[in-house]
Amino acid sequence: MHDLLGLPLDASAHGHYIDNIIVVVHWLMLVLFVGWAFYFIYALIRFRRSRNPKADYTGVKSHFSTYSEIGVALFEGFLLVGLAIPVWSNVVVTFPAEKDATVVHVVAEQFAWNVHYPGPDGVFGKRDIHLVTAENPLGLDRNDPAAKDDIATINQLHLPVGKPVIVYLTSKDVIHSFGIPLLRVKQDVIPGQSIPVTFTPTKTDAEIRKALTKHYPITMDMVEPGRPFLSVMKDYKDVEGNPILAKGAPLMEESLKQLLAAGYKEVLATADTPNEIACAQLCGLGHFRMRASVVIQTPQEYQAWLDEEAAYLTQ
């Protein structure tokens, strides 16, 4: 049923709860659709004009429709009380302790996602609206001792796998929506509010790319603007053995032409940045480009990235 519904890959600890609710709801809709279709056909045949030339003012005396309506109402109550509310309580309301989680601040604006990490001291430095510039979109006050080691990125969120994450969401201008489909996260970002969301990544980027690898028919529209960038997952050579693409290389217009000329009909590839933050709220004319990459790494890779970013601050 998951594949039939086209649900994206699940890369979070709570994702299967969300998916199960979606599947159960669709089963209910399927039962209702089939049931009402059969009832409609039955009513057309049972109460057709040729069989009932005169109106019957007594009507149907069976209570089957009443019982079926009660059954549907009870099942919908089960969906709400038995499934939705417990999931909401466990996923949305219950937060891990900050000392046991990766805590980041994400500040949305037209049309970018600004990410603020606390640095090795674990304390977020002060932000001042009067210090906001194109070079300092967060308005980070580097004179504050707690801010000297803080790390700031734009449209790039790095997280370690297997560790709870707490993201505090704020907006500098209008309402945005923080959506990460593979992590089953979606939360509106409201100006003037700091809204926390929590989740736990369960797959690294490498594991996600491997899981999403498939054969794509080669067409020139694979590299059109707005489509995800694809990287090949094996080496490709022409008929003379000359290399066209090495494993991990991105698909470009010229390489697609070379593959077609070499007789290839399809290519084994995967999305170069499969995990993305997408603004799910129409936030202006540039809404379509408000996207950011989410990089899920092993703890060692994540620490290496933090160390690399911290080294830039000393330059």
pLDDT at 228: 67
How far apart (Å, rounded) are the C-alpha atoms in residues 29 and 167?
Answer: 34
What pLDDT is attached to residue 34? 94
DSSP 12-48: BTTHHHHHHHHHHHHHHHHHHHHHHHHHHHHHHHHT-
Q: State the pLDDT at residue 199.
A: 95
For the chain, the structural domain boundaries read 2-93, 98-204+275-313, 213-271
* Confidence at residue 226, expressed as pLDDT on a 0 to 100 scale: 61
Is the CATH number of domain 98-204+275-313 2.60.40.420?
yes
Burial class (CB in 10 A: 0-12, 13-18, 19+), 287: middle
**Residues 115-151: tens digit of each pLDDT:** 999 988 889 999 988 999 988 999 999 899 999 999 9
The pLDDT value recorded for residue 314 is 77
Check residue 88 and give its pLDDT. 83
CATH architecture assignment, domain 213-271 = Alpha-Beta Complex (3.90)
* Residues of the chain with confidence (pLDDT) below 70: 59, 225-228
Are 143 and 170 in contact by the 8 Å Cβ rule? The answer is no
Exposure string over 239-277, b if 16+ CB within 10 A, otherwise e: eeeeebbeeebebeeebbebbeeeeeeebebbbbbbbbb
Do 98-204+275-313 and 2-93 have the same topology in CATH? no
**Region 2-93: CATH code:** 1.10.287
Q: Which amino acid would we find at residue 78?
A: F
